[in-house]
Amino acid sequence: MIKHLLNLNFKQILFLAIFLRVLWACFVAVDPVGDSVVYDQFALSIASGNGYAWPDGSTTVYWPVGTSAIYGLLYYFFGQSYHAVAIFNLIIGTMIVVLTYGVAKQHLSERVASIAALLVAVWPILIQFTTIHASELFFIFLVLAALYTWGNQRIPPIVRAIFWGALICAATYIRPTALPLLGLLPLLQWFKKESIGTCLTAFITATLSAAILFSPWVYRNYQHFGQFVLISANGGANLWMGNHEGSNGGYVPLPSLDFKDEVVRDKYYKKEAIDYIKAHPLQYLKLGVLRAHLTYRAETIGIVWNGDLYKKLGDRSILTLKLLSTIYWWAMLIIAAIGLYQLLRKRELSIFSALPATFGFFFVFPLLTVGQDRYHLPIDPFLAMFSAYAIQGWLTKNSAKPAQHSASL
């Protein structure tokens, strides 16, 4: 069975990815719980013409607007249709498979790219998010699209920089953690011996492209809050959640304190968190271990946020699904570690290559701020690529053994 799957061509892998996501969507209905409820409410507000606002009508800039804006557009054209949500998520999930293949082919090989696409196609949590209002699939898609565009040498450099800058901007509208990629990618070019002029041109061009796309939202935020806010006002709050007296490194509700607005509140919690870190550097390191544990111990949020599963399945079935998702996650994590080690040891990639560097950035970021298992999802396609390299190596080695045996006879 596994051997047959590994021999599928890309079109067959794509069909498998679509089939599994359609099958999941047919069995599991979109039923918002947790953060998905808020995304749903914001999307309805946007679709109804009330702008990005809480249900009581108060304007917000707390969460990044991108995810709610996407679902808001769907609601505007199709009404509050959860079928439209599932179909659109299915399309984005399938495109993640396509882009995983494309990026892996750019940096590794076509065979490794096919295996990586297969691993993403059957990755449980990426299938489960088909029926969830969430930022994860959109963010992964845009980051991979930016990397693919950045590595596409067929596009003229200036045009390429405009497009990958725009894609990083779009990813930042989903999650601000994408913003450092604007500087990271040109820096990687410089480490790979590109001229400083070429790297600066790429950085400036991409930054200008992103700045133009950021400007309407910055203007909107200034009009409402009287201050510069690039995307959202929750970075300080998130930092505080993972770094304060009594923190376990993960999410906690913000205390009920009165503030003028969300921007003032965010600045307050940012200062509180930084002051705590400065005063307790050893505790910050200890909390980093807790954040790592929370972020990388399991991969179950795709079950937890699918409210319809809890209506259809019993506790034992839910636990089984969580266990299967986590087993797959740990298998990929372990095999990817082997693959990345082999790639670096054989110098087929350097630590300054786009794949290891981008993976490393998204791997480390939650350890510095706040931990939760969904924060590791951006690294899943990279794990698939590194795992695919290791698997391809094993396949090649095993196929060579019979040939050597025959030759010896």
Q: What confidence tens digit (pLDDT) does each residue in 1-40 have?
A: 677 778 888 999 999 999 999 999 999 999 999 899 999 9
CA distances from 273 to 189, 196, 239, 260 (A): 34, 37, 6, 19
Q: What is the per-residue pLDDT for 401?
A: 65
With a cut of 80, say whether residue 48 has pLDDT above it. yes
**If you search the block for the tokens 């998905």, which residue do you land on?**
36
> How far from the centroid of its chain's Cα atoms is residue 327's Cα?
20
The number of CA neighbours under 13 Å toward the Cβ of 127 is 24
Over the stretch 96-150, which tens digit does the pLDDT of each residue have? 999 999 999 999 999 999 999 999 999 999 999 999 999 999 999 999 999 999 9
With a cut of 60, say whether residue 248 has pLDDT above it. yes
Region 63-73 average pLDDT: 97
With a cut of 70, say whether residue 361 has pLDDT above it. yes
What tokens appear for 403 in the block?
């040939």
What tokens appear for 155 in the block?
């596009």
- Stated pTM of the model: 0.95
Region 296-321 average pLDDT: 95
| Amino acid at position 186, single letter | P
Q: For residue 194, name the pLDDT band (cuts at 50, 70, 90).
A: confident
Region 59-78 average pLDDT: 97
| Mean pLDDT taken over the chain | 94
10, 114 Cβ separation under 8 angstroms? yes
With a cut of 70, say whether residue 333 has pLDDT above it. yes
